[in-house]
Amino acid sequence: MNETAVVRSLSALAQEVRLRVFRALIVAGQEGLTPGAISEQLGVASNTLSFHLKELAHSGLVSQERHGRNLVYRASFQTMNELLAYLTENCCEGVACLTEEATSCDC
């Protein structure tokens, strides 16, 4: 992931509603959610939600797919993993973050 894409992703997530929407889509997994389900679950008006979904899609963090008359939104786990990898690439003095050695360090 390049720096421009990282900034675009972080900018998209730097807003409360978009962060809540993204987290809800992460929980939903590959099944995804319709805008109606997201709106109901988070208590966000549909026109407001539409704007935020567009921003998340533009950043590459969310994809949409049409199923009949409904749109289904899904979190892009690949983009999320690339973002996390970029952010943690040099953490713990170069030791992989999930190893026992890394979790026991004082960094």
In order of their start, the domains of the chain are 3-103 (1.10.10.10)
Q: For the whole model, what pTM was predicted?
A: 0.83
Query: For the purposes of burial, counting CB atoms within 10 Å of the CB of 24, is it exposed (0-12), middle (13-18) or buried (19 or more)?
Result: middle
More confident site: 12 or 88: 12
Tokens of 15: 């807003």
- pLDDT per residue over 40-63, tens digit each? 999 999 999 999 999 999 999 999
Q: What is the distance between the alpha carbons of residues 50 and 35, in angstroms, rounded to a whole number?
A: 8
- Contact indicator for 62, 69 with CB cutoff of 8 Å: no
Kindly tell me if the per-residue pLDDT of 106 is higher than 60: no
Residue 97 — very low, low, confident or very high, per pLDDT cuts 50/70/90? low
Residue 37 — very low, low, confident or very high, per pLDDT cuts 50/70/90? very high
The whole-number pLDDT of residue 82 equals: 94
Average pLDDT estimate for 60-73: 94
The whole-number pLDDT of residue 65 equals: 95
